[in-house]
Amino acid sequence: MSGKTAVVTGAGSGLGREIARALLGAGYRVALAGRRADALAETAAGDANALAVPTDVSDPDSVAALFDAVSAEWGRLDLLVNNAGVSVGGTVADLSFADWKRAVDTNLTGMFLCAQQAVRLMKTQDPQGGRIVNNGSISAYAPRPASIAYTATKHAVTGLTKSISLDGRAWNVACGQIDIGNAATEMTLRMADGIPQADGSIKAEPTFDARHVADAVLYMAGLPLDANVQFLTLTATTMPYVGRG
C-alpha cells in the first residue's frame, strides 16, 4: 500500500483512531479529520505520513478545505473512510429538534459532503478512481430503543452507500459499507453496566476488540477496484442483534 493516500474522518478517537493507525501501519499516507486538533495530533503520534486537518464534517466549506489540503499535499486520494458520527438518544416523542439536526448534520450530511468531495477528486485524478468505505451500524438494520435519530441516519447511510456505488461506476469509484455491532470504544463503555433492551430490561452486552474493525477496513481497502465488499457486518458474537427484540 506504499504511496496510497487516505482520508479518515472522526480520526481523533475510537474507531477512527484505530482505523487511521492501521492504515498508517500498512503504508498509507493518511489525512486525519476531526474537530479537535489535539486529539488528531494524539492519533498521528508523530508519524510523518499523517496529516492532521481539523474539520467539521457538517460544514461544506470545512469539508472542501480538507480535500483541498489532501490534493495539495499528495495530489490524489485512493481511500475515504467515512467514519465520523454522533450517537444521539431519544424517542420519537421526546427527542429535541436540536438533537435531531445534530445527528442528521453529522451522520448523514457529513458523510454526503465528504463522499462528494472525495468522488470529485477521484474522478479527475490520473489514474482515475478510488474507494469509499462508509461506517454504517447494526442500527442501519435494527434499532435500539430510544434511538430514532441515530437509527434514521444510519438507515439513510445504506441508501447513500448504494447510490455512491451506482454513480461511482462511471469513474472507477467503489463504495462499500461496514456495519459494526459493539466494538470496544469509549462509546461502548456503558454497555458493561447494562443498556435498555427492546423488552424493557437492562442488560450488559458483550463487546469485541476494535482492532478487528481496522483489520476489516484494511481488507476492504486492499481489494483491486474491480472488486468490492458492498456490505460487511461485524459484531460481537453474542450481542443481541440476530433475534433483537
CB 118 within 8 A of CB 67: yes
* Contacts (Cβ under 8 Å, ≥6 apart) of 238: 206
DSSP assignment, residue 127? S
Q: How many other CB atoms are found less than 10 A from the CB of residue 113?
A: 24
Length of the chain, please?
A: 245
Name the active-site residue from 141, 150, 219, 241: 150
CA 214/CA 236 separation, integer angstroms: 15
- 28 in catalytic set: no
Q: How is residue 81 written as a grid cell?
A: 473512510
Q: Are residues 78 and 118 in contact, defined by beta-carbon separation less than 8 angstroms?
A: no
CB 217 within 8 A of CB 180: no
Report the greatest alpha carbon distance in the chain. 55
Tell me the Ramachandran region of residue 129: left when phi exceeds 0, alpha when psi lies from -120 to 50, beta otherwise: left
Question: Which grid cell sits at 146?
Answer: 430510544
Helix (H) / strand (E) element for 7: namely strand 5-9
Reduce the DSSP state of residue 167 to 3 states and report it.
helix
Q: Which residues are catalytic?
A: 150
